[in-house]
């Protein structure tokens, strides 16, 4: 039984598709873009982890930096592909969901926090969890705003050059 739609007195009707995979039809190129981008991003994350290893019980600076940088870049990409350009339809799935989704990591973030707890560094674990959350949100916002600011300045410079 479903609840009536507000103000209509009618019943909300939900009819699932006969084939549950129907909404996915025609999405093979997007799936491919996400998969290839995800592989590229994950390899990049892995390489940073090799270059900046985290000793046992230490603050995971590499993962923290990856997640903050990735969130900033997601903000840049979102503005670039939704507000500034007429992008290829696969640009956002490839760049944001694929590359940057593969580069950033919630799983390693969680495991790193667990490693801090296992090393009896409870305060560091909670600090890491909270700091990452706050820094990532601020970084995503900054990516959006910096990209918009750069774009506005470029437009203004072009207008004055004419």
Best CA proximity match to 71, nearest among 82, 63, 81: 63
**Cα 80 to Cα 1: distance, rounded to the nearest angstrom:** 43
Which tokens hold the place of 99?
A: 């590359």
Residues, the chain? 162
Q: What is the DSSP string of 72-123?
A: HHHHHHHHIIIII----TTHHIIIIIIIIHHHS-HHHHHHHHHHHHHTT-HH
Flag whether 101 is marked binding. yes
User: DSSP character for 111?
Assistant: H
Helix 61-79 to helix 106-118 angle (10° resolution) is 160
List % helix, strand, coil for the chain (3-state, nearest 5): 70, 0, 25
Which residue numbers belong to the known binding site for Na(+)?
A: 101, 104
Which residue numbers belong to the known binding site?
A: 101, 104
């Amino acid at each position: 039984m479903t609840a009536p739609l507000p103000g209509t007195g009618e019943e909300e009707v939900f009819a699932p598709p006969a084939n549950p995979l129907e909404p996915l039809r025609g999405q093979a190129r997007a799936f491919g873009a996400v998969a290839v981008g995800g592989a590229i991003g994950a390899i990049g994350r892995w390489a940073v982890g090799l270059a900046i290893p985290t000793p046992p019980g230490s603050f995971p600076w590499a993962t923290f930096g990856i997640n903050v940088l990735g969130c900033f870049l997601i903000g840049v990409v979102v503005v670039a592909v939704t507000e500034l350009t007429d992008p290829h339809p696969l640009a956002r799935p490839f760049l944001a969901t694929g590359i940057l989704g593969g580069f950033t990591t919630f799983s390693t973030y969680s495991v790193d926090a667990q490693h801090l707890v296992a090393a009896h560094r409870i305060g560091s674990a909670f600090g890491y969890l909270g700091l990452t959350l706050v820094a990532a949100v601020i970084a995503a916002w900054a990516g959006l705003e910096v990209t918009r600011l750069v774009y506005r300045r470029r437009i203004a410079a072009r207008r004055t050059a004419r």
